[in-house]
Structure 1
Amino acid sequence: MEEFLPANLRLLCSHYRSVAEVCRKIRINRGQFNKYLCGNSIPTAFNLKRICDFFGVEEFEITLPTAQFISLIGANARRVRPVETATAAQSMLEHLRQKSSPELMAHTGYYYEYYHAMTEPGSILCALVHVREDGSDVVYERNERLQIAGSEGEFERYRYVGIAYYLRDRLFLIDYESLTSNEVSQTILIPSFKSCITRLNGLKIGVSAADHRAPACSRVVWEYLGQEINRIDAYRRVRLYDVDDPAIDEDLRSRLSQTKVVDGLFVIA
């Protein structure tokens, strides 16, 4: 396998626009896949089956001598999936993926997100965010909940899903509300250049979930929790807080203090 697999795998990948596209479609880590292409590592039995199933070849075929494999593929060209024509939107996302720095991987994990609530002026909202690898992409899920006025212990829940890029020393995160699909928001963070991530500062732009749907922006702070957490315990903190609530420490309050309200819109002071 070690002798012929890399060349055979490169041949199969040549039927696609890029290795990144193959990794995305197979949903396999690009760094690991590159090791297979270079012969620095061999796939596990599980990953080998995924690769072979995707390309439409048998596991014993992909390890054949390359000349024999080329002859086999040439005789059965239809077994290798044809190159698909990318839409304009797909090309844009692929361009951003290619430009995104690998340093983004250092920022995967769980975070609390704090920002001035766009629906409840004068309040700070704490959300739970999970940033993770998904094939060659870095995606994230953000969960919010807002207390329902007059209903003790009842909440409105919001779930956002999105994709992240690291471009020119800034983290760009774009998501949409997956339960209603009625809004898109963007967050820009200044990454941590320290060996240990604690809190990241940035800006969030979106719209209020209230009926008036007012555009808004706010300072935002992400607090790193770790790669693995107790999600049930962490979720208990997800809610609205008064600005002077003891749960909002002075450092958080200071980082968020440059946001103010003007004519119903949040702007940076």
Structure 2
Amino acid sequence: MRNNFPVNLRQLVHHLSGTSRAAEALGINRQQLNKYLSGLTMPSLATLQGITAHLGLQPDDLLLPPGQFLARWRPPVKVDGLPPQIQEVFGVLLENMAQTRDTLAQFCGHYHVYTSLPTNPKRIGRAYAAISQHGDLTTVKMVMFATNRGETPESRPPTKVTGLVQWLGERIYINGVQNVGQTNARLYSIALYPPAVPSMPYLTGMLMTSNNARTRPIYALPIVFDRLAGKASRRADLQACGVFYKDDPRLDPGALALLDGQQPLW
């Protein structure tokens, strides 16, 4: 196991852009890091815990055979052609997604998403969302209908949003794009709090976006993700989306209470 440590550590240093950057990132002296890399000495348990905590690993992980270690730790993806500072930002975001993958796994599933409508306070929009994982990435796909529930005429096709999901500071962040590749594309930013009680099906937070019309500014609205039963998507759940009046009995009363502020959003 002792011989595995320097081999695995060299993998980490390579993806931290060299010895100097790695020493700074891991909070250890460069000369000491070189001794670890050469196998001359082993770190104390406290130092080993500090190194692995920075990388989202357990101390024992660095002692695994190299093949098992690489299966446990996935090197962060790099985006070529970017300035160093921007590359570092992307690296941190991608590394965060890899390290928090297991945390986000508990939120994967299918949801009805409730938002109020800034253009009509008496009505509620209910969309459909699926959160899933692909390798280290956690993604969301949303489908929204601007028509009354059940009405999907060809003149008003559904709006589709695709985005990335991250876990930062005990919160879920979603950054997505509506109508990717089209002239009317726009950004969505959503911040969600996990439920205080694990058995509750709701994620609550805020949505920030804008309408395409120049006269309509950026706005922020409360948003509620209501988790649906089952692991597979169902056509009935999708067909239950659209625009409703607030007193429509088909809406979930718990989600409405959270949305209307009758219960705290966080």
Q: How would you bin the TM-score normalised by the shorter chain?
A: 0.5 to 0.7
2:124 alignment counterpart: 124
Note the C-alpha offset of 1:84: 4.7
User: Secondary structure, in 3 states, of the residue corresponding to 1:39?
Assistant: helix
Counterpart-to-counterpart distance in 2, 1:83 and 1:111: 32
Letter in 2 for 1:91: E
Using a 3 Å threshold, how does the CA distance of structure 1 residues 14 and 189 change in structure 2: closer, same or farther?
closer
1:161 alignment counterpart: 162
Among 245, 248, 251, the alignment partner of 2:248 is: 245
Task: State how 1:135-214 maps to structure 2 within 5 Å.
Answer: 135-147=135-147, 153-154=152-153, 155-179=156-180, 180=182, 182-209=185-212, 212-214=215-217
Using a 3 Å threshold, how does the CA distance of structure 1 residues 233 and 89 change in structure 2: closer, same or farther?
farther
User: Secondary structure, in 3 states, of the residue corresponding to 1:103?
Assistant: helix
Superimposed CA distance per residue, residues 140-167 of structure 1 (whole angstroms, 9 cap, x where no aligned partner): 111111118xx95424311111111111
Q: Say whether the 8 Å CA contact 1:177–1:183 is kept in structure 2.
A: yes
User: Secondary structure, in 3 states, of the residue corresponding to 2:157?
Assistant: strand
Q: Say whether the 8 Å CA contact 2:145–2:152 is kept in structure 1.
A: no
User: Secondary structure, in 3 states, of the residue corresponding to 2:204?
Assistant: strand
Using a 3 Å threshold, how does the CA distance of structure 1 residues 13 and 202 change in structure 2: closer, same or farther?
same
Q: How many residues align?
A: 204
Structure 1 stretch 153-162 or stretch 222-231: which is displaced more? 222-231
* TM-score normalised over the length of structure 2: 0.62
Superimposed CA distance per residue, residues 64-106 of structure 1 (whole angstroms, 9 cap, x where no aligned partner): xxxxxxxxxxxxxxxxxx9956544443232133345342221
User: Secondary structure, in 3 states, of the residue corresponding to 2:93?
Assistant: helix
Q: Does 1:111 align with 2:140?
A: no
1:96 alignment counterpart: 93
Counterpart-to-counterpart distance in 1, 2:190 and 2:15: 30
User: Secondary structure, in 3 states, of the residue corresponding to 2:106?
Assistant: helix
Task: State how 1:16-31 maps to structure 2 within 5 Å.
Answer: 17=15
Note the residue ranges of structure 1 that are not aligned, 5 or more in a row: 1-5, 19-29, 43-81, 260-267
Letter in 2 for 1:190: Y
2:239 alignment counterpart: 236
Note the C-alpha offset of 1:240: 0.7
Counterpart-to-counterpart distance in 1, 2:120 and 2:139: 28
Counterpart-to-counterpart distance in 1, 2:112 and 2:227: 7
Superimposed CA distance per residue, residues 38-72 of structure 1 (whole angstroms, 9 cap, x where no aligned partner): 53798xxxxxxxxxxxxxxxxxxxxxxxxxxxxxx
Please report the RMSD computed on the Cα atoms of aligned residues, expressed in angstroms: 4.0
Q: Say whether the 8 Å CA contact 2:152–2:158 is kept in structure 1.
A: no
Letter in 2 for 1:123: R
Identity of aligned residues (%): 16
Q: Say whether the 8 Å CA contact 1:118–1:207 is kept in structure 2.
A: no
Using a 3 Å threshold, how does the CA distance of structure 1 residues 244 and 83 change in structure 2: closer, same or farther?
closer
Q: Say whether the 8 Å CA contact 2:226–2:255 is kept in structure 1.
A: no
2:42 alignment counterpart: none
Task: State how 1:30-109 maps to structure 2 within 5 Å.
Answer: 37-39=66-68, 84=80, 86-87=82-83, 88-99=85-96, 101=100, 102-109=102-109
Using a 3 Å threshold, how does the CA distance of structure 1 residues 114 and 11 change in structure 2: closer, same or farther?
same
User: Secondary structure, in 3 states, of the residue corresponding to 2:104?
Assistant: helix
Counterpart-to-counterpart distance in 1, 2:128 and 2:151: 21
Superimposed CA distance per residue, residues 209-242 of structure 1 (whole angstroms, 9 cap, x where no aligned partner): 5563332211111011256223322110110111
Note the C-alpha offset of 1:253: 2.1
Q: Does 1:256 align with 2:259?
A: yes
Note the C-alpha offset of 1:254: 1.5
Counterpart-to-counterpart distance in 1, 2:120 and 2:127: 14
